[in-house]
Amino acid sequence: MPWLTIILLIFLFWFLIILYVSKKKYRIIRPYGPALMISTTRGKDYIEKWGKKSFWSKYGLFSIVLTLIFMVLTMALLFWEAILVIGLPKSLAPSPLAAIGLPGINPFIPITYGIVAIIVAVVLHELSHGLQSANNDINIKSMGILLFIVPIGAFVEPDEEKLTKSKRKIRMKVFSAGPSTNIVVSFVFLVLFILMVSLVSSPSNGALVTYSGNQSIKTGDLLLSIDGINVTSSSINYINIDPGKLVPLNLIRDSSIKQIYSISGLWVNNVLQGSPAYSAGIKDGEVLISINNILIRNYSYFNSFMENTTAGENIFLHFIFNGKDLYYNVTLIDKYKFYENYYPNYNSPSYKGKGFLGVSMAYMNSTFSDPKGIISMLSNPFSGGILQGFIFIITLPFIGLSPFPSYFQSVYLTPFSPILFWPIANIFYWIFWINLMLGLTNALPLLPLDGGYVLKDMISGLLERYKVMKNESIANGVSIALSLLVLFLILWQFIYPRIF
């Protein structure tokens, strides 16, 4: 039976359960949108007991400060992203699915690790609300779990009436406890993740294949030599082997040394629409031999040649494909004008007057990385700066490094069984990632999220301190306005590139 049919049947069966439960009106189980909420009073005595400790009062004040700090940082991030999408081509517009933090829907969140991380994040989030409520003498009515086919989280339900009537400072402590705990937990697991990766040993030489469009070469191969020449990821850009030759490659694949053969040279892997290469009919998979009868042995040769061309210049290209020679006469266009029309965000004044072909190529149609460099960046991500480090760590799923590729098991040495090591490292990473995303999202000044209530109470309290009339009405108005601004900034990222 096809997987799609199985998934549809599972969802159909689940919604039948939802309909059945909604009609029966059980006391401890009830529908909550597409999920089921199973509630109980068991365990609330423990939360109320733990919540009475003096630590939680101090933690509540810390939570308010931390939530407000990350509220400002997250708003700054939204403004920055809103600016970045201006001029972004429709083809590079972010998918709306990427904004949904659910495994199986968001294409970047792995199902297994994602579900585990969401359960951890939501349980800690709700537990923090409960402990802070208990610390401030707000009764806990019930607690329980949320099911959507599988457990997706938990909840702690405080006495809403008593919470509403509490002092602003108490409400701010309760609301900020959830996002601040997620943020703290994310940093704890980030440290654990970095410490684990720092225990990994990388191979002493070779070039790690991180992408391959070449049938002979596989992603995860550790390339040791080409035609008898030892290589690294950087030396491949300068390798001095005539293009178009069938050459031997020595590499490590699945922990074994192998020898394979491939055609040397730069392989076309992308031709930009609207470019001279596209108009000439150059296609993916063709191997560049020469330009103007000058052999192009590596990318350094090609880049050096193109840097010395001008717009309007005619060049003569020789390619091979499946053993056949292909020749093209091409007139280069202005690189600056092309980028201004198609990729304005990536344009540069230095491109003016430069010749542009519009073809992307890679040596043997593969991408190579330094195996030591990958582990070095993962174990010391902030060496180049805190902001750059965080951007790198957060974007690991988008560059194919989380979950870790399966070939890591054969390329890198771990302090204990790689079958256990890499899944544990993955779990640590995704607990960090999901907690951070949940914490940042809930810290936003967006009602009805926690951050929206925290800011509303803070504004109301400040206005009251300065004896401003109708402080509650003004605080409500400002909170609603900020909520609309946040929604606009989020939607802007997905709508603008598709319309303008």
Residue 98's pLDDT band, with cuts at 50, 70 and 90, is: low
Mean pLDDT within 467-484: 86
Report the phi/psi class of residue 476: left, alpha or beta, with left for phi > 0 and alpha for psi in -120 to 50.
Answer: alpha
* pLDDT tens digits for range 27-67: 777 776 677 777 777 777 788 788 888 899 999 999 999 99
* pLDDT tens digits for range 325-365: 999 999 999 999 999 988 887 889 999 999 999 999 999 99
- Closest Cα partner for 251 from 208, 215, 212, 211? 208
Place of tokens 């939360």: 47
Q: How far apart are CA 334 and CA 339, in angstroms?
A: 9
Tell whether the model's pLDDT for residue 321 goes beyond 90: yes
The 8-class DSSP code of residue 158 comes to E
Mean pLDDT within 281-288: 96
Amino acid at position 135, single letter: N
pLDDT of residue 307: 93
Residue 1's pLDDT band, with cuts at 50, 70 and 90, is: low
Q: Where are the alpha helices (DSSP H) in 102-142?
A: 111-135
411 contacts: CB under 8 Å, gap ≥ 6: 202, 203, 208, 220, 222, 252, 371
Buried b / exposed e along 79-97 (16+ C-beta atoms within 10 A): eeeeeebeebeeeebeeee
pLDDT of residue 161: 82
Q: Specify burial of residue 450 (Cβ count, 10 A radius: 0-12, 13-18, 19+).
A: buried
Judge if 207-263 and 266-363 fold alike in CATH terms: yes
Q: How far apart are CA 492 and CA 499, in angstroms?
A: 10
Residue 152's pLDDT band, with cuts at 50, 70 and 90, is: low
* Domain residue limits, the chain: 1-29, 34-194+432-499, 207-263, 266-363
- Closest Cα partner for 140 from 116, 124, 156? 156
pLDDT of residue 150: 64
Distances (CA, A) of 383 to 261, 270, 390, 400: 39, 33, 11, 21
* pLDDT tens digits for range 194-246: 999 999 998 878 999 999 999 999 999 999 999 999 999 999 989 999 999 99
Q: Which residue has the higher pLDDT, 137 or 30?
A: 137
pLDDT of residue 11: 75
Kindly state the percentage of the chain with pLDDT values over 70: 93
pLDDT of residue 471: 78
pLDDT of residue 144: 73
CATH number of 266-363: 2.30.42.10
Q: How far apart are CA 283 and CA 422, in angstroms?
A: 39
Q: Which residue has the higher pLDDT, 149 or 225?
A: 225
Other C-beta atoms lying within 10 Å of the C-beta of residue 495: 14
pLDDT of residue 440: 92
pTM over 0.85? The answer is: no
Q: How far apart are CA 409 and CA 222, in angstroms?
A: 12
Tell whether the model's pLDDT for residue 400 goes beyond 80: yes
pLDDT of residue 467: 78
Distances (CA, A) of 85 to 55, 75, 90, 240, 426: 44, 16, 10, 41, 30
pLDDT of residue 16: 84
Place of tokens 């409960």: 130
Other C-beta atoms lying within 10 Å of the C-beta of residue 419: 9
**207-263 maps to CATH 2.30.42.10:** yes
What is the bridge-based pairing of β-strands 246-253 and 140-148?
unpaired
